[in-house]
């Protein structure tokens, strides 16, 4: 529900001329979001805990820090934040700390469309979304008995690559299935190289941009290849996929049109399934590319991803459109600024936002 600005101003006692503050939780891609906000002329607020406070305070572009004991306590801050002229830019950790329900209840102006959260949170709905957009998804197995090739077992709600298990075959699965304490899916292990494509869709212009691309840096799998096969035999190696960093990659240009098309298809379908606003702002499609140069889509993230962090000072792709260092975080702030300049802030915020 969008309330007329006059109403808001009088009730909160804020001055008309105050600039908006862009706020987010101190983790994930917060530095990029706040630096970008600062560069676009906004005030910035980092909400940190005691361990991260010192880091975020060390940066001049962070105008204000609010410290909470645990990130999960964020909801306690909401009444205070709702009184301010402030816009939340959510990221993956923000979403991880709040429940779907808390997310929807919150009326702080919020960049993005919360309706997408339901489609993203469920692996089944996500798969429907991707399939309907004509994207290529890996095969899934319903039971261990069905497994006829290596698979990745993914626990529900697995975050940052934690909760993934590599399983060689049906027998291997039976032996280790007992370890699985929560719901999971069994996904075909696609043999190919991972590539994460970062998009930005502007609801103001209807234009899609490719912002950057990365590959994740995962421990321990990205270190295994450094050990000769013969030496691996003498070690007990359980592969794990915990994401601890990101590295820049550029895609072969002859495949770029398809990457662009995939992004457009995902946006188009989102407008059919998540209300008229659909998916907008930053999002990411996680792919694996096989030797026949086919994209397999593993997952979609419906907001800024940490894979954009190597590009705080710009990327080869964003440079094509901006000729200045344009991170995804800054792109978000630019969109909010453009919305303000065109008097259409509601277009870039979730409908729950109390302006």
C-alpha pair distances (Å), 225 with each of 83, 137, 239, 319: 53, 26, 11, 33
Q: Given candidates 88, 147, 153, 195, which one binds a copy of itself under the rule CB under 8 A?
A: 195
- How far is the C-alpha of 151 from the C-alpha of 24, rounded, in Å? 36
Q: Is 140 in the site for a copy of itself (CB under 8 A)?
A: no
Q: Is residue 138 near a copy of itself by the rule CB under 8 A?
A: no
3-class DSSP assignment, residue 97 = helix
**By the rule CB under 8 A, 311 interacts with a copy of itself:** yes
Closest CA to 71 of 50, 54, 43: 50
Does residue 28 bind a copy of itself (CB under 8 A)?
yes
Q: Per rule CB under 8 A, is residue 247 in the interface with a copy of itself?
A: yes
Query: Which candidate, 115, 117, 139, 137, places its Cα nearest to that of 127?
Result: 137
Residue (152 or 339) nearer to a copy of itself, CB: 152
Q: What is the DSSP string of 255-266?
A: GHHHHHHHHHHH
Shortest spacing between CB 304 and a copy of itself, in angstroms: 11
Q: Which is nearer to a copy of itself, 326 or 349 (CB)?
A: 326
Least Å from the CB of residue 328 to a copy of itself: 12
- CA 25 – CA 284 distance, rounded (Å): 20
250 binds a copy of itself per the rule CB under 8 A: yes
Q: Which helix (H) or strand (E) holds 341?
A: helix 328-341
220 in contact with a copy of itself (CB under 8 A): yes
Asked whether 73 and 2 are in contact (CB, 8 A), the reply is no
260 binds a copy of itself (CB under 8 A): yes
Q: List the one residue from 2, 39, 188, 337 that touches a copy of itself (CB under 8 A).
A: 39
First to last CA, the chain: 9
Considering only residues 46 to 85 of the shown chain, the ones binding a copy of itself according to CB under 8 A are: 51-52, 54-55, 58-61
Residue 316 interacts with a copy of itself (CB under 8 A)? yes
Binding of a copy of itself at residue 21 (CB under 8 A)? no
């Amino acid at each position: 529900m969008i309330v007329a600005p006059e109403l808001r101003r009088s009730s909160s006692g804020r001055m008309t001329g105050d600039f908006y503050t862009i706020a987010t939780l101190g983790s994930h891609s917060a530095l990029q979001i706040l630096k970008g906000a600062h560069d676009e002329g906004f005030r910035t607020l980092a909400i940190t805990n005691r361990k991260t406070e010192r880091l975020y305070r060390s940066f001049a572009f962070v105008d204000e820090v609010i410290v909470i004991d645990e990130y999960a306590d964020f909801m306690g801050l909401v009444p205070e934040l709702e009184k301010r002229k402030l816009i939340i830019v959510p990221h993956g950790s923000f979403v991880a700390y709040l429940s779907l329900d808390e997310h929807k209840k919150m009326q702080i102006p919020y960049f993005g469309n919360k309706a997408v959260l339901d489609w993203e949170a469920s692996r089944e709905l996500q798969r429907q979304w991707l399939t309907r957009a004509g994207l290529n998804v890996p095969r899934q197995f319903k039971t261990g008995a069905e497994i006829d090739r290596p698979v990745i077992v993914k626990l529900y709600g697995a975050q940052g690559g934690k909760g993934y298990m590599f399983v060689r075959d049906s027998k291997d699965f039976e032996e280790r299935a007992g370890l699985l304490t929560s719901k999971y899916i069994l996904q075909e292990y696609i043999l190919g190289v991972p590539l994460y494509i970062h998009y930005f869709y502007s609801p103001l212009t209807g234009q899609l941009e490719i912002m950057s691309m990365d590959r994740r840096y995962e421990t321990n799998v990205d270190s295994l290849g450094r050990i000769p096969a013969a030496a691996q035999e003498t070690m007990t190696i359980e592969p794990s996929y915990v994401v601890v960093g990101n590295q820049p990659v550029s895609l072969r240009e002859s495949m770029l049109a398809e990457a662009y098309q995939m992004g457009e298809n995902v946006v188009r379908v989102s407008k059919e399934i998540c209300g008229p606003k659909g998916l907008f702002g930053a999002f990411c499609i996680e792919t694996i590319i096989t030797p026949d140069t086919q994209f397999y889509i593993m997952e979609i993230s419906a907001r800024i991803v940490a894979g954009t962090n190597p590009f705080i000072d710009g990327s080869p792709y964003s440079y094509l459109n901006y000729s200045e260092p344009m991170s995804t975080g800054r792109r978000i702030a630019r969109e909010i600024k453009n919305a303000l300049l065109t008097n259409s802030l509601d277009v870039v915020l979730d409908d729950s936002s109390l302006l």
